[in-house]
Amino acid sequence: MATGKIFQSLSGFYDVHSAGKIYRTRARGNFRKRKITPLVGDDVDFQIEDGDKGYILTVLPRRNELTRPPIANIDQAIVATAATQPEFSSNLLDRQLIALEISGITPIIYFTKTDLLSNDQWQSLQKIAAGYRQIPYEVILPEQAFGSASLAKLRQLFANKENVIMGQTGAGKSTLLNHLAPELALATGEISTALNRGKHTTRKVALLKVNDGLIADTPGFSSYDTLTIDYRQLAAYFPEFKRAAVKCRFRGCVHVNEPDCEVKRQVHDGQIMTSRYTNYLQLYTDIKNRKPNYKK
């Protein structure tokens, strides 16, 4: 028996790195019955067969996991966020940040396509970036797309860590990775100008070695699932709300209708971004009104 890490998954095969070698494995038949799906990033025990093939016996306990993209045991996520084309959506960004907070993965917000912005758009994006930095999140807003300063910053942030790059279809994930590590030569998509939407160029999740870190390129998404948390927990995944909440009059304040709510006060005073609060209220309502029988 050997132990290794799944670095790629495609059509039922899991490619595993173990002691400097690569093995193409399959999951054991009883995994499906037990509703276990091995994920890229998983550490596994596997049985070697025919030299470089094998089958997975056990998925070792996970530190964390994400469903979108499907990956496990990640330290940090680079949230590739298009400044335009597709248009910047604070709602989509906040949903991704919440999913990461829930999984205990550190987000890094990286704005792509800043070269396509007008002066006015650039100014307003700078304000947005400053707002996210106050939360505080690490934000990289390249003055020059793929400029050496922002690439160096990213390299420094993800050295010696397991990272994932996530984001909407066409956000520029593969393009960014190609700039970080040109030897990867990942396929990138021409954006469909008619729809202003990317074309889903990346179809699989793969963990790649880039400099001193590991980074997973992942397929983009065009929508994001409803969160499977209790609506009363939602505010805990907004770090700036959580900080303010200790001063709300009521313990368990959900910052909606309660009097003397510090979160609402800080929104009013401009310390908390209005867009974050609006997105909070929308998600809160969505989660509260969704049909029961959600697990977790």
Ligand X SMILES: Nc1nc2c(ncn2[C@@H]2O[C@H](COP(=O)(O)OP(=O)(O)OP(=O)(O)O)[C@@H](O)[C@H]2O)c(=O)[nH]1
Q: Which residue in the set 8, 96, 188, 279 belongs to the binding site for ligand X (CB under 6 A)?
A: 188
Q: Which does 255 bind (CB under 5 to 8 A by kind): Zn ion, ligand X, none?
A: Zn ion
Between 222 and 282, whose beta carbon lies closer to ligand X? 222
Choices 91-99, 184-192, 249-257, 281-289 (CB under 6 A): range interacting with ligand X: 184-192
For residue 98, give every residue at least 6 positions away whose Cβ sits within 8 Å of its Cβ, in sequence order, or none: 227, 234, 237, 238, 283
- What residues between 262 and 281 interact with ligand X by CB under 6 A? none
Site string for ligand X, 25-64 (x = CB under 6 A): ----------------------------------------
Q: Is 271 helix (H, G, I), strand (E, B) or coil?
A: coil
Between 9 and 169, whose beta carbon lies closer to ligand X? 169
Is the backbone peptide bond immediately before 69 cis, with ω within 30 degrees of 0?
A: yes
Q: Which does 113 bind (CB under 5 to 8 A by kind): ligand X, Zn ion, none?
A: ligand X
Sequence length of the chain is 296
220 binds ligand X (CB under 6 A): yes
Q: Which residue in the set 73, 163, 202, 266 belongs to the binding site for ligand X (CB under 6 A)?
A: 202
Q: Which does 163 bind (CB under 5 to 8 A by kind): ligand X, Zn ion, none?
A: none
Query: Any binding-site annotation on 127?
Result: no
Residue 201: closest CA among 225, 213, 185, 215: 185
283 binds ligand X (CB under 6 A): no
204 binds ligand X (CB under 6 A): no
Q: Which does 261 bind (CB under 5 to 8 A by kind): ligand X, Zn ion, none?
A: Zn ion
Query: Any binding-site annotation on 172?
Result: yes
d(CA 184, CA 147): 19
- Name the residue number minimizing CB distance to ligand X: 220
CB of 203 to ligand X, least distance (A): 8
Give the Å distances, CA to CA, from 271 to 94, 266, 267. 17, 5, 6
The residues that bridge with 22 in the sheet, in sequence order, are: 17
Site string for ligand X, 130-159 (x = CB under 6 A): ---------------x--------------
Residue 17, both tokens: 């790195």
| Cβ neighbour number for residue 192 with a 10 Å cutoff | 11
**Could you tell me where the beta strands, DSSP code E, fall in the chain?**
2-10, 13-18, 21-27, 43-49, 53-59, 65-66, 71-72, 76-82, 106-112, 138-140, 162-166, 206-210, 213-217
Is the backbone peptide bond immediately before 86 cis, with ω within 30 degrees of 0?
A: yes
Amino acid at 272: I
d(CA 202, CA 196): 17
Which residues of the shown chain bind Zn ion in the complex (CB under 5 A)?
Answer: 248, 253, 255, 261, 263
Between 68 and 265, whose beta carbon lies closer to ligand X? 68
CB of 258 to Zn ion, least distance (A): 6
d(CA 267, CA 277): 7
190 binds ligand X (CB under 6 A): yes
Query: Any binding-site annotation on 201?
Result: no
Which positions lie near ligand X, rule CB under 6 A?
A: 80, 112-113, 115-116, 145, 167, 169-175, 188-191, 198, 200-202, 219-220
Binding annotation for GTP: 112-115, 167-175
